[in-house]
Amino acid sequence: MNRVEVNRYMQGLADADYLVGEGDVEPNREAQQLRELLRTLQRHEDRLDIAWCGAAVAQIFRQHPWLQSFQLDVWIESVYNDEGGSFMAHYARFRDIVACLGAEVPHELQDEDGLLDPDAASDLLDTEHEDEEFEFCAPFIASGNGDSCMLALDRGVMAPLLAAAVVSGLTVARLLWPDHDALRSFDQPSPIPGAAIAGAGSPA
C-alpha cells in the first residue's frame, strides 16, 4: 500500500462520528472502521514492542562478549511527586551477572582477584540502559498496572542468532518468549481491504 492509498483510506475515515437518535449512542460506519483499524494497529504495536526487546537483548550480548547471562527485573510502580500527584514510573534493573567461562572481563568490572565484580557489572548495564526502562517494561507489564516481571537471559540460548550479521529482534523474541500474546498469529484479515482503499475518499 503506497502513501496515496493510505491517505485516501484515512480521508475516508474523517467522518468517523458517534450518533444518537431514539436509542443509545452508536458509532457510525466510519467510526466502526476506525475502531477496528486502531485495534489492529495496537496488535502490530505490541508485536513491535517485543521485537524491540528482543533486539535490545541481542545488542547487549553482542556489545559485551564477556557476558554469559543476567537477570533483568522490570516493574512499574506509582510514585508521588512534590505537588501531591502521582505517576507510574518504569524500572529495569540488571542482576545476577555471570561472565563467560574464560572470558576476558573489562578491567573496570574486575574485583581485587581479577574476577567479575557482579555489582560493578550490574551498575554498568543499569547505566547503559537507564533511558530504556519504559521500552523494557512495555511488552511485559500492562500500562498503568503496578506489577513486575523477571527475565532470565542466557547467551547460550540465542548463540546461533547472535552470530548472524544482522539479528532480528522478532526472531529473538519468538525464541525467548514464544508464548507471549503479542507473538500470536494474526488470524483476522486486514481491516483495510483493497476494495475499501479503492473506494474510500474517491472522487465522485
Tally of domains within the chain: 1
- 13 CB-near residues (< 8 Å, 6+ apart): 30, 33, 34, 37, 200
> Is residue 187 in some structural domain?
yes
The parent domain of residue 26 ranges over 6-199
How far are the Cα atoms of 9, 43, 61, 133, 149 from residue 16, in angstroms, in the given order? 12, 21, 47, 36, 39
Cβ(99)–Cβ(105) below 8 Å = yes
> Is residue 204 in some structural domain?
no
> Is residue 124 in some structural domain?
yes
What are the backbone dihedrals phi and psi of residue 139, each rounded to the nearest 5 degrees, phi first?
-75, -15
Per-residue pLDDT of the chain (204 residues; tens, 9 = 90+): 677 777 777 888 889 999 998 889 999 999 999 999 999 899 999 999 999 999 999 999 999 999 999 999 999 998 887 777 888 899 999 999 999 999 999 999 999 999 999 999 999 999 999 999 999 999 999 866 668 999 999 999 999 999 999 999 999 999 999 999 999 876 544 444 333 333 333 333
DSSP 10-56: HHHTTT--EEESSSSEEE-HHHHHHHHHHHHHHHHHHHHHHHHHHHH
> Is residue 65 in some structural domain?
yes
> Is residue 1 in some structural domain?
no
Residue type, 203: P
* The pTM of the whole model exceeds 0.85: no
C-alpha cell read off for 176? 525467548
How far are the Cα atoms of 123, 127, 134, 177 from residue 196, in angstroms, in the given order? 53, 49, 36, 36
The β-bridge partners of 93 are: 73
